[in-house]
């Protein structure tokens, strides 16, 4: 995808700058939420992890080919201090910058493993739609992804903050309220993951457990219950049936596999997870989810 390639190039040319997730998202022309998901799905690393690795890659080059001081190298590679440079370097290479420099000076014939070069991550190489493999993958995705138009929904919801593997707490709160207020069972149950766990600490991830409301329904919010409107529009539907912990892989597959090769791009609405069964009563313990990813047609 050209937009992600532009971000990779921008990172490479501005390593010494104070780059933020918001800044990189702006370069991509995606919202911060969608940018993080798309970047991670395509590059298989979060934007900030990739940025740190590229900085360290250049730091190794400086260490082994120049006599620059640690302060100079840390500054040239965008680290805020020598201590943060040392910490990141040791975490990545299991040694200190000074120790690596000494080792390379003593054993100059030992090749270094630099990690992925920018060329290895070329999107034109990984997503060549003229290749037989990608044509096959695209046909598979076309059979499994359906573009649909959804109406807007009035919903009641209970919010969970914490691990997405513990959202049952919000569903229990919502289920109790729905039963007390006589909400028909044929209403839709919709989950909304408001944060990307790859960039937001697990304990701060927000999730809304929602139920659609019958037309004309009126009620006061109960304990832990609020109301809102979900925007309608165009969505890519992927029918998921597996254990709930694999739903994150489904997101990654749609954002990194289908979307870059489609005629669409993500729209600035939240993805909707229509819960089609109760995984706790499923014979295989699996969740059946109609995953709707908000999209809009790419401008040519």
- Cα distance between residue 299 and residue 210, in whole Å: 33
Which two structure tokens, joined as six digits, stand for 216?
């004309």
Identify the three-state secondary structure at position 118. helix
Q: Average pLDDT for residues 55-73, to the nearest whole number?
A: 93
State residue 112's pLDDT score: 45
Which two structure tokens, joined as six digits, stand for 173?
């709160």
Residue 43 has pLDDT above 80, yes or no: yes
State residue 225's pLDDT score: 93
Per DSSP, the chain holds a count of helices (H) and strands (E) of 11, 9
Look up the pTM and report it. Answer: 0.72
User: How large is the angle between the packed helices 82-93 and 47-65, nearest 10 degrees?
Assistant: 100
- Cα distance between residue 281 and residue 134, in whole Å: 38
Q: Give the rounded distance of the alpha carbon of 61 from its chain centre.
A: 30
**In this predicted model, what pLDDT tens digit does every residue of 91-136 receive, in sequence order?**
999 999 999 988 877 765 444 444 444 444 444 444 343 444 455 4
State residue 126's pLDDT score: 44
Q: What is the mean pLDDT of the chain?
A: 85
**Strand intervals (E) in the chain:** 145-150, 153-161, 189-193, 206-212, 226-230, 233-242, 264-266, 272-275, 287-297
Residues 6+ apart with CB under 8 A from 182: none
State residue 139's pLDDT score: 52
- Residue pair 289/269 in contact (Cβ under 8 Å)? The answer is no
């Amino acid at each position: 995808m050209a937009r992600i390639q532009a971000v990779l190039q921008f990172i490479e040319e501005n390593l010494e700058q104070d780059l933020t997730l918001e800044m990189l998202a702006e370069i991509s022309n995606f919202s911060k939420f969608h940018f993080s998901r798309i970047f991670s799905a395509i590059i298989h690393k979060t934007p900030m992890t990739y940025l740190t690795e590229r900085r360290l890659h250049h730091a190794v080059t400086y260490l082994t080919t120049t006599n620059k001081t640690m302060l100079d190298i840390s500054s040239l590679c965008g680290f805020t201090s020598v201590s943060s440079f040392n910490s990141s370097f040791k975490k990545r290479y299991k040694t200190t910058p000074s120790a690596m420099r000494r080792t390379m000076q003593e054993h100059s014939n030992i090749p270094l493993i630099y990690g992925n070069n920018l060329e290895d991550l070329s999107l034109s190489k990984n997503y060549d739609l003229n290749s037989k493999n990608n044509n096959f993958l695209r046909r598979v995705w076309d059979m499994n992804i359906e573009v649909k138009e959804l109406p807007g929904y009035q919903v009641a919801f209970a919010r969970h903050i914490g691990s997405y593997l513990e959202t049952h707490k919000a569903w229990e709160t919502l289920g109790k309220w729905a039963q007390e207020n006589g909400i028909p069972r044929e209403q839709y149950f919709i989950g909304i993951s408001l944060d990307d766990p790859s960039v937001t600490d697990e304990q701060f991830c927000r999730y809304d457990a929602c139920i659609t409301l019958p037309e004309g329904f009126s009620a006061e919010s109960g304990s832990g219950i609020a109301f809102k409107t979900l925007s309608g529009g165009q969505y890519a539907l992927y029918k998921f049936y597996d254990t709930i912990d694999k739903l994150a892989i489904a997101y990654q597959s749609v954002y990194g596999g289908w979307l870059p090769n489609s005629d669409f791009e993500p729209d600035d609405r939240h993805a909707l997870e229509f819960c089609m069964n109760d995984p706790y009563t499923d014979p295989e313990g699996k969740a059946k989810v109609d995953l709707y990813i908000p999209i809009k047609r790419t401008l040519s």
